[in-house]
A and B are shown apart, each in its own frame.
Chain A
């Protein structure tokens, strides 16, 4: 193929070169020293003879020794952060040579950004990058790295409009498939396929976010959603051994459950009484599977059956009404969470080696009692010069995590499809012992079933909390080996190998004290003549899962970095990559487990057995054995080149082709070339440029294409095998996932980006402004089809999204000197909407919560749309809308309103957002706080759906202000309660405009404070000691647009509690 041609050409070039270097002149060593303008030695500076092409790096004292080829040569000294110096050296010059480097003018531009394939000096980068350095990252505390990006990254938003699914968006949404909408995360050089929480954030040096095509296209078919490149810390040349230690403690109070938006206990009881009188519970009361019902229903039923008097019942109900289950939850299920973090780092360098070792330990006791985890990380990184031109880098990361997950669940997790935990339930009885909750079966049944011959059949959450034994552990190993060889001053080749493997194991041991085991055993117990026969052995039940995953990747790459004279410079890479990720999982269920003897007992999976009292008919014992394997393979070739002329103009281009086994589609579809090109112009370096107030100005323009793929798509009919245990007839079977789609292709995202970088007022103010637009086309979308075809929905490449936006970054140093105050302002504007949908969803009666991706042509996929609201009917309290402009209660007709008669509220994700981060430093004290803002978006507040209230007991505070008598329609918008329930009426109210509010808000998210403890210079132990305090998840709303008192990030009321940390860092 083409690649082998290329390598042949490379081979020829190299062969020619090695011939030429054979002729050498006599030489001798010349000594020199590199200093900064303040007189401090500079370590790690690159010293290079222009003619002789030999080079050296300065040591920790700034010294270097170089072979000199008399009589003269030109020395080029460069170092990151300093201006490159060029000086002619003659054999008569005094030695040692004294070299002084001046700092480069803009701090902003001295940074090199990593794409995962190469480091590009920002000064010559055409693409859009946003980089977060160590200093900013270390001003945040927490066990994971990704959350540190929140609120401080230009163009990136943590989208938390859906409580269930928090996602990261870089410059909006480029796909309609939720599972394929995350940015690609790259750790050092390769996509990270493990659990990103395995990475210790203390090991991270910097993060760059690749936002446009020129920056991200090198990642090809996976770059459509943007790329986050995480770079780990490395040992530095010329650095003596240094040991640092960091430790902190984070405490967070229990969540305030009483802030939950829920129906009151007294209203709930009144409702139960009313429903009981209407016969609503008769079905459950007579159901032969004995489902659970609430204590109040139980009492009312006892009255009806003549078992107790109504007076007794009322006394007991009144007593129940005084209790709120949240008090018990707070006391028995929750606790303040505590996290500890310890991190030790050792780094240094020798003559031919740079090294770093680190070890970390994190421990977290979660706010739910019984849950927690711990993590051990060990990392070792070496960079070794094998020979003059050959280097070897090795990196090893070992992670072990242990978790325990024994909580029976927190607030909101106790419900079944037809029953929920009553809000007045008690988790403990009068004597303080775990109390039974009739969630699965009712009291009357569990009291008497089996006449004492069965195992206790009552469900007590706190008994489960005490007995649950659900543990998991993961061992993860990540090995990176890289080696590079410098053929020529300007030509290097390198190989990188990565192997990642993880082993995870989880075991849920349900002993006989857990409800789950007792319930399952009882369900299959047969009682003959008072003797129980156990079809499921009387013993513990163990659910075990062990899995392994592995990723192997090899990359070969040739790098060119050549300068001709002072005017021309070419940097280029070309390479190929093979990557394979594999995972295996096995699941197993073990019955009759005895933890003392470690014995188990066999069960009969092959035959059907009746369930006790036929509560579930006949059934098979679940055989939990299941094996799965995933094997994803990728092959890619890529190239990127940039040419700079006169240090003023840079043009760049990249191309990449990807192939994958993911789809099994035809080869022509597997190979998709993706490309980008870009232009950078340093306007300020033009001879004609004389704007003295704006000394630095550069323009960038890029355009390119990247791709996106969903791992769940296929061009062919796809089927899945299931094992016998999941079949009602106990036969292994096949399910059909999706019908054939012969037209399947990958999604493509074309991005245009234009930006200016500027700096003025003596570099006190610097920043960038970028405009971009993105055409995401060929998006796979679930198209609603006529169910007559056999599928109600199929996925097709059928949609397009057009996005435009702008990102502004403004850094300012407001005060300088002893008291230094600097700010970073981030402003992002984004607007995207669906521009194509080949199978458009009907806009008849268009309503949406904006919670899920909802592709309506011409609107944002997270659109919130509503029915027009005409208030409540003064006679009945029925909600009213409009049909043809007339007030109407014909809900069926309202749902057919044309879209122009609906209220289009707007997007559920903000279109204007950003932050202002202020940092103040004064004599070793540093403070940083971040104010985030989000504007121009909407949310639908929780509104009681009477149908849901009936089936699972879920209702909100608005129930209290429902219409009950004429006249109240002037004060409330909550419809009257009716029974039987009318689901169309419920839907109309839920989706009416009256429940939508503006979500705009400004909040303080976190505050960081550190103090460098002054050390006497005689202190031999510490070189540096810093104490820091950090508060996160503060969610202090400075301003919010809505008048309902609702924080749009927590519309159901319970906020994530703030976390307070204290810690110290020290260098030895």
Chain B
């Protein structure tokens, strides 16, 4: 019995020690709880995280809206094809007042939120390599500005300096905090913000980016040129087009491109300064969208764009294949390429009475588009004639490049160039007159319902 009790005491002590050790363990496991629950999950806290977000091509580069191209007059649809596409595109095609816009409203803002998450995180990053952080910040600003610009082409009126500070602009998003309620700005504020972001970006970015899906200074200047052009500020547009071309000005020689290829142009080809695109709208599928007949006829037989941009359909119509996205689908290339900059340079030069500069830029571009030996330098003397010529070339070069809608809106205030658009479907004719409210698309219904944003007329 004595032994048993001794045993007992010993056991007792062992157990008491165990219990104490265990309670100490429990009370000291704060560190234990700091482990990351999922190794692939994190909060954006390192520069690698932010660079990773910038690499999210599908969210940042491939989310531009296509509504501008769907609404434009580069193509037409047969009734049967029109019937088989989504409601929203059917309505855009016929310029109806329609507010279930969906992704063309939603995805640009989600890309802007990505950019804002980066911009809000940048100041909190332990900064060991300021140059690297500048590139991240510059790109985020560039993306934010590019998407704000894309939205401004759809959801508010074209820029008019006389009324810009009164006209309703888009809802600018300059914070990642989703709790801050969106409000619509004025057109002046909208464009000021775009320009400010781009100028800030250009100060942070290297001249040229390592990869074409990120922006360099050159892309920021190009985007500034595009923005100023859309505002009719030809002086600034010309300066920035020049600045961009001073950094990078390569053009493809269309003679060296395979005419029979289904996809003649590769993604990231030599002309591309910055690569981005829209989703592929059903309306623009090459099986549906027929190239406008007059437009197709306007290309000279010696103009290589006639064979590189288009392919014949069985029924005698033509489909577009000259996509700079390198994709075999209807995604619209919305990025920047040198050809567009040459055209901006030429147009601004002629408008500012620098006739020689305009001809030089135009001839540089066109000589790379025509059959070798067939091209004769353009020597048009009259200002108006040259401007008309350049605008016609602009349309021919930037076909299915998301440029037409912006140009229509810009030029509608010019009596010489205003255009009335028409569509025919099964005997019904739809018309879009210059200055029509339908040049401004409705905001998505959810923005009106949930934030009370003012709807467009």
Contacts and interface: CB of A to CB of B under 8 A. Distances in A.
A119 interface: no
Contact of A635 (B5, B29, B57, B117): B29
A631 B213 CA distance: 35
Contacts of A578: 25-26, 29, 32
A661 B57 contact: no
A948 interface: no
Given A786-B450, A787-B106, A283 B39 contact: no
Interface string B37-52: 1111111100001001
A286 B38 CA distance: 46
Contacts of B302: none
A890 interface: no
B354 interface: no
Contact of B287 (A278, A283, A983): A283
B182 A789 contact: yes
Contacts of B83: 278, 280, 979-981
A717 B23 contact: no
A576 B447 contact: no
Nearest to B112: A790
B33 A739 contact: no
A790 B113 contact: yes
Interface in B336-363: none
A283 B314 CA distance: 12
A105 interface: no
B52 A733 contact: yes
A629 interface: yes
B263 to A, nearest CB: 5
Nearest to A630: B38
A15 B15 CA distance: 12
B57 A727 contact: yes
A482 B103 CA distance: 58
B59 interface: yes
B41 A718 contact: yes
Nearest to B6: A22
B9 interface: yes
Nearest to A629: B39
B356 to A, nearest CB: 41
Interface stretch (A132-140, A188-196, A385-393, A505-513): A385-393
Nearest to A792: B106
Contacts of A617: 263, 326-329
A7 B18 CA distance: 10
B288 A283 contact: yes
B293 interface: no
A485 B449 CA distance: 66
A659 interface: yes
Contacts of B285: 283, 287
B22 A576 contact: yes
A283 B287 CA distance: 5
A981 B178 CA distance: 37
Contacts of A979: 83
Contacts of B39: 627-631
Contacts of A577: 26
Contacts of A322: none
Nearest to B59: A735
A735 B114 CA distance: 9
B210 to A, nearest CB: 11
B444 to A, nearest CB: 6
A164 to B, nearest CB: 25
A719 B49 contact: yes
A659 B26 CA distance: 11
Given A786-B447, A788-B171, A282 B287 contact: yes
Contact of A739 (B40, B113, B181): B113
Interface in B15-70: 15-16, 18-20, 22-30, 32-44, 49, 52-53, 55-59, 61-62
A814 interface: no
B342 to A, nearest CB: 26
Interface stretch (A41-49, A608-616, A855-863): A608-616
Given A618-B267, A718-B42, A733-B56, A788 B109 contact: yes
Contact of B110 (A633, A714, A791): A791
Interface stretch (A57-65, A108-116, A471-479, A662-670): A662-670
B37 A667 contact: no
B22 A495 contact: yes
B51 to A, nearest CB: 8
A786 B453 CA distance: 10
B37 A283 contact: no
B178 A739 contact: yes
A85 interface: no
B173 A635 contact: no
Contacts of B327: 617
Contacts of A490: none
Central interface residue in B23, B28, B173, by most chain A CB within 10 Å: B23
B109 A787 contact: yes
A40 to B, nearest CB: 34
Contact of A618 (B84, B181, B266, B288): B266
B37 A630 contact: yes
Given A733-B57, A786-B451, A279 B81 contact: yes
A4 interface: yes
Contacts of B178: 739, 785, 789-791, 794
B92 to A, nearest CB: 15
Max chain A Cβ within 10 angstroms of own Cβ: one of B12, B262, B285 = B12
B272 to A, nearest CB: 13
A554 B182 CA distance: 51
Contacts of A387: 7, 11
Interface in B163-195: 171, 173, 176-178, 180-182
B440 to A, nearest CB: 16
B446 A786 contact: yes
B1 interface: yes
A691 interface: no
Given A618-B267, A734-B49, A22 B5 contact: yes
Given A618-B326, A661-B34, A556 B109 contact: no
Contacts of B364: none
B87 interface: yes
A718 B45 CA distance: 10
B374 interface: no
B23 A7 contact: yes
B43 A661 contact: no
B42 to A, nearest CB: 6
Given A727-B58, A788-B447, A628 B40 contact: yes
B32 A842 contact: no
Contacts of A27: 1
Contacts of A287: 285, 287
B429 interface: no
B383 interface: no
Contacts of B455: none
B11 A733 contact: no
B211 interface: yes
Given A633-B33, A635-B32, A719 B26 contact: no
A556 to B, nearest CB: 4
15 contacts: A15-B16, A282-B80, A389-B8, A493-B19, A556-B26, A576-B22, A614-B328, A627-B39, A631-B39, A635-B32, A733-B55, A740-B177, A786-B450, A789-B113, A790-B178
Given A493-B15, A556-B26, A736-B114, 18 more contacts: A7-B19, A10-B19, A283-B84, A288-B262, A387-B11, A556-B19, A578-B29, A617-B329, A629-B40, A664-B34, A717-B121, A729-B55, A736-B44, A785-B178, A786-B451, A790-B114, A980-B84, A984-B87
Interface of A: 1-4, 6-8, 10-11, 14-15, 18, 21-22, 24, 27, 278-280, 282-284, 286-289, 387-390, 485, 487, 493, 495, 554, 556, 558, 576-578, 608, 610, 613-618, 627-633, 635, 637, 659-664, 667, 670, 711, 714, 716-721, 727-729, 731-737, 739-740, 784-792, 794, 842, 979-981, 983-984
Give the 4 A-B residue pairs with the shortest CB-CB distance, closest first: A790-B113, A734-B52, A279-B80, A980-B83
